[in-house]
Structure 1
Amino acid sequence: MNNTDYNIYEFPECESIVISGDIHGDFNLLVNKMCVQYRMENTLMIVAGDCGFGFQNKGYYENIVKRNAKRMNVANNWILFVRGNHDNPAYFDGKTFRHKRFIAIPDYSIVKACGHTLLCIGGAISIDRSYRLNAWEQLQRKCHKSSQDLSKGIYERNYYWPKEKPVFNVELLKRIMVEQIIDTVITHTSPSFCELQNKNGLYRWANDDTQLTVDVQQERNTMDSIYHMLKENQNITHWCYGHFHQSWHSNIDGILFKMLDIMEFYEIR
């Protein structure tokens, strides 16, 4: 895939679109809530990042598919996963984890369903990255493994992946805006004018990570750049995101911004 290629996913049988907040590895719970608790059918679920890919070995995620395929097939449901900061980016190439009912999609993917055109862009900064790096190093020492063991393969389980931030791909976004009429944006983090803006938790983590506040500010600036570019000629009505583990919504400049808590669902109508 070159710098101006993007994936398009179409769901002509879909009758409803539901966005989920972070799931942090609770794949089975997500399917259960979708198919059993809420009895959704003919529904496309999009997880707005922090899915949990990479904390287990690759085979673990294939077993998730096998365990839940029948239930998803009977209900005629689909789940798309957007990249979060608590995800190994290697899974989100549109090929590595691609099944009939479950797909981890690349950044800048276009999704078409129920008359909507959605743009999906993942990534964020982990404010707990110093803790996760230290925890992984301690685990390696406990298991008597060296640092070289970490580089055996891109799908090896880990606690942290450095290429986690959102990327402002100007040329790709320009092409998408020419070719698509986007009405909904799904991201993991948000523009700077959206909640969460309280930085108390961030400052606590920054005591052990001197670059953290700079990187987080750059992350939000990146999202601002994406927002301003989309606002130029796209009629965006909804923008959903997760990341902050809280629930909030507000209409800003004609766009309903919706922050989703962990495993919170929101239907795009």
Structure 2
Amino acid sequence: MNNIDYNIYEFPECESIVISGDIHGDFNLLVNKMCVQYRMENTLLIVAGDCGFGFQNKDYYENIVKRNTKRMNTANNWILFVRGNHDNPAYFDGKTFKHKRFMAIPDYSIIKACGHTLLCIGGAISIDRSYRINAWEQIQKKRYQPSLEMGKEIYEPNYYWPNEKPVFNSELLGKIMSEQPIDSVITHTSPSFCELQNKNGLSEWSSNDTQLASDVQLERQTMDSIYYSLKESRTITHWCYGHFHQSWHSDIEGILFKMLDIMEFYEIK
């Protein structure tokens, strides 16, 4: 169901909600872990960014759906994908990748399931962006590039997308908060007071990217703005995110913040 300004997805048959950390293109492994290893049924799984959309051509992702639909149907499971920095934002418009069991959802989407109302906001800064831009330029130099049909160039495979950062939409967020009783937040990166705060890796990449440190600082400030706006509602109990490839959790002012490692699962109860 679509609102004028934001999408609402409802899952009345869902019996549990699980959040996953980054999967970096391991779609088949994710389905296998969900349906075979853990034998989940009637479960909604939300990937908190860095899903891996955009590194392959568009048909590749449609084939992932075809390969796994029967297994997902049998288990009555669903997977929603939130935008990460290692994702092409074009896939996250609520239309491009939309199937019964698999959907890439827009920022500021609302999810209703199991008595919960979740807000999903993607995006982050790639600290390895200089390497990714360079690597892709080298690949382009070595291969013939046929002309693309108008509109299809936005789905052309790449290693980096410049519109990757999170966006604080104050007006939209205010509207959502006035209409939706949000209790859980799913983002790709986190507010500045959450882990990861160690900047060792950032310093290394900054030597080849002079704007990187300030861009990352702005990214975390954006997440702070989102947090302080949401905090006013006093209804948030959970905040899950990925991005940093480590596991951590802490209760901060009544909100359980959970950082998820790669392919780590966490159930919201």
- TM-score by length of structure 1 reads 0.96
**1:26 equivalent in alignment to 2:26:** yes
What corresponds to 2:126 in structure 1? 126
Structure 1 gaps, min length 5:
none
Report sequence identity in percent.
83
Task: Give the ranges of 4+ consecutive aligned residues of structure 1 lying more than 3 Å apart after TM superposition.
Answer: 144-149
Match of 1:178 in 2: 178
Mapped to 1, the partners of 2:39 and 2:106 lie a distance apart of: 28
* Partner residue, 1:66: 66
- Residue equivalent to 2:238: 238
Partner Cα distance (1:61, 1:198) in 2: 34
Which residue of the partner structure matches residue 116 of structure 1?
116
Partner letter of residue 210 of structure 2?
A: T
Offset of residue 143 of structure 1: 1.2
In structure 1, C-alpha distance between the alignment counterparts of 2:28 and 2:152, rounded to whole Å: 29
1:29-178 alignment, distance < 5 Å? 29-145=29-145, 153-178=153-178
How far the C-alpha of 1:139 sits from its partner, in A, is 0.4
How many angstroms apart in 2 are the aligned matches of 1:103 and 1:257?
Answer: 25
Report the Cα distance in structure 1 between the residues aligned to 2:190 and 2:230, rounded to whole angstroms: 14
Paired amino acid for 1:60:
Y
Q: CA deviation at 1:233?
A: 1.6
Aligned equivalents of 2:195 and 2:147: distance in 1?
Answer: 38
Q: 1:196: which partner in 2?
A: 196
**Which amino acid is 2:253 matched to?**
D
Letter of the 1:228 partner, please give it. Answer: Y
Distance in structure 2 (CA, Å) of the matches to 1:6 and 1:222? 19
Q: How does 1:251-266 map to 2 (within 5 A)?
A: 251-266=251-266
| Structure-2 separation of matches of 1:88 and 1:64 | 17
Whole-Å separation in 2 of the counterparts to 1:244 and 1:233: 27
Report the 3-state secondary structure (helix = DSSP H, G, I; strand = E; otherwise coil) of the residue aligned with 2:120. Answer: strand
Contact 1:177–1:234 (Cα < 8 Å) also in 2: no
Q: Aligned to 2:126, what secondary structure does the other structure show?
A: coil
Is contact 1:238-1:257 (8 Å) kept? yes
> C-alpha displacement at 1:264, in angstroms?
0.1
Q: What is the aligned partner in structure 2 of residue 249 from structure 1? A: 249
> Per-residue displacement from partner, 1:78-135 (whole Å, max 9, x unpaired)?
0000000000000000000000000000000000000000000000000000000000
Secondary structure of residue in 1 paired with 2:155: coil
State TM-score, norm by structure 2: 0.96
Contact kept, 8 Å, 1:123 with 1:188, in 2: the verdict is yes
Question: How far apart, CA to CA, are the structure 2 residues paired with 1:238 and 1:160?
Answer: 30
User: Which segments of 5 or more consecutive residues in structure 2 lack a partner in the other structure?
Assistant: none
> How far 1:148 sits from its partner (Å)?
9.9
SS in structure 2 at match of 1:59: helix
3-state SS in 1 of match to 2:174: helix
| Aligned Cα root-mean-square deviation (Å) | 1.7
Q: Distance in 2 between matches of 1:50 and 1:210?
A: 24
How far does residue 71 in structure 1 lie from its aligned partner after superposition?
0.1
Who is 2:14 aligned against? 14
State the Cα deviation string for residues 175-206 of structure 1 (Å, max 9, x = none): 00000000000000000000000000001000
State the alpha-carbon separation in 1 of the partners of residues 19 and 51 from structure 2.
13
**Aligned partner of residue 162 in structure 1, secondary structure:** coil
Q: Tell me, yes or no, if the aligned pair for 1:182 and 1:234 is still in contact at 8 Å.
A: no
Amino acid in structure 1 at the alignment position of 2:96? T
Q: Secondary structure at the match of 1:80?
A: strand
